[in-house]
Amino acid sequence: MPKTITLTERFGHLVTTPSPKKKIERDSISVSLVEAALHCAEARGVARESLLAAAGIAPATLESPRARVSPVQYGKLWNATADALDDEFFGQDAHPMRRGSFVLLCHAALSSRDGGQALARIAGFMRLVLDELSFEPDIDEKRVRIWLDDKGAQKSMFAYATGFILVYGLLCWLVGRRIPVLAAHLRCAEPAARDEYRLMFCDDLRFDAPRSFVDLSADCATLPVVQTPATLRRFLKDAPANFIVKYRNPDSLAARIRTRLRQTAPTDWPEAESIAAALNMAEATLRRRLKQEGLTYQTIKDALRRDLAIARLAHTQQTIPQIADALGFAEPSAFRRAFRKWTGVRPADYRREG
């Protein structure tokens, strides 16, 4: 059997372990999406153990529905699954999206003049490689709609999400910014991991729709493509970990707070009064606006600490006491209790076995 040329072989390592100087991952992904990817592989005879080992995910992590993995771990799982199946769409279409297809897609769209032309080229390419799911652009002055035409047989939520990640992630990179997702209506039934998918798509995510579509901000069609062959090489080196995770609203108050917190060590994170002053608003206003977004300042800090903990456990050799101290815990036992509350597993079990 001829050897398949993968993205890694052609362009170097797709997902690399961050160096000490590199910023640690800022988000995390539910194990429900890990299980969905593993199910695709297992349905085609690939054992999960080898994929989890390649991704650096301890099997014990999957025992709790609250557990999460880092984008780098999920990116490695994505690549390992695609390698094992020789299919970048995980066997979710009658026609496999052979390894190397995404590289060719990037090259096909790179010379586009703007987002509208890039989206048309992306959709045209995907039409060539998939038989059962297509992405049809429909652009007017109010929105850019992408019809997800599933040829009469509805797909799973994970299949729609996989296609969306590929199309949307590439489009955002080409125009050099995160494009607001306005709405997503899908034919599939509401999944158990609906909240995780809302983070991936948007708040206006609906199910059991008569026809599937995703609406993007209208201005993305006229945004110029700003990438070059040189930046493409860097993009592919870290794909797909560099575009898997997306906040619901990058302009929200919560996103502004996260940005400020990431610029400071957790041991120096300010109290609500101080961060409100830094954002030129009263503390009461900050609390009221966060409540409107369904959050509190404490939940933002807790989620960010959780994600930093996950990244450090997965991608550094720091001891648990060192991580606890860096994240502002008074003692390691307090960190262990918090981590188990966040994820359902002990920090030691989170690390790759062996």
Residue 21 is predicted with a pLDDT of 35
| 310 φ, ψ (degrees, to nearest 5) | -60, -45
Q: Where do the structural domains in the chain lie, given as residue ranges?
A: 99-247, 253-350
Domain 253-350 CATH class label: mainly alpha
* pLDDT in the model for residue 115: 97
pLDDT of residue 246: 58
Q: Which pLDDT score, from 0 to 100, does residue 251 have? A: 61
Task: Return the pLDDT at 245.
Answer: 67
pLDDT tens sequence for the chain (354 residues) = 333 333 333 333 223 233 333 333 347 888 999 999 999 999 999 999 999 999 999 898 888 777 888 888 999 999 999 999 999 999 999 999 999 999 999 999 999 999 999 999 999 999 999 999 999 999 998 899 999 999 878 899 999 999 999 999 999 999 988 788 899 999 999 998 888 888 788 889 999 999 999 999 999 999 999 999 999 998 998 888 778 765 345 567 888 899 899 999 999 999 999 999 999 999 999 999 888 766 789 989 998 999 899 888 877 889 999 999 999 999 999 999 999 888 777 898 877 543
3-state secondary structure the chain: CCCCCCHHHHHCCCCCCCCCCCCCCCCCEEHHHHHHHHHHHHCCCCCHHHHHHHHCCCHHHHHCCCCEECHHHHHHHHHHHHHHHCCCCCCCCCCCCCCCHHHHHHHHHHCCCEHHHHHHHHHHHHHHHCCCCEEEEEECCCEEEEEEECCCCCCCHHHHHHHHHHHHHHHHHHHCCCCCEEEEECCCCCCCCHHHHHHHCCCCEECCCCCCEEEEEHHHHCCECCCCHHHHHHHHHHCCCCCCCCCCCCCCHHHHHHHHHHCCCHHHCCCHHHHHHHCCCCHHHHHHHHHHCCCCHHHHHHHHHHHHHHHHHHHCCCCHHHHHHHCCCCCHHHHHHHHHHHHCCCHHHHCCCC
Token pair, residue 107, equals: 């090259």
pLDDT value at residue 11: 30
Burial of 351 (C-beta count, 10 Å sphere; 0-12/13-18/19+): middle
User: What is the rounded radius of gyration, in angstroms, for the C-alpha atoms of the chain?
Assistant: 21
Query: What's this model's pTM, rounded to 2 decimal places?
Result: 0.71
* pLDDT score for 8: 34
Query: Minimal CA–CA distance to 62: which of 83, 25, 35?
Result: 35
Write down how long the chain is.
354
Nearest to 59 by CA among 47, 45, 46, 41: 47
Q: Is the peptide bond before 240 cis (omega within 30 degrees of 0)?
A: yes
φ, ψ dihedrals at 53, nearest 5°: -65, -40
CB 322 within 8 A of CB 309: no
Query: What is the amino acid identity at position 39?
Result: H
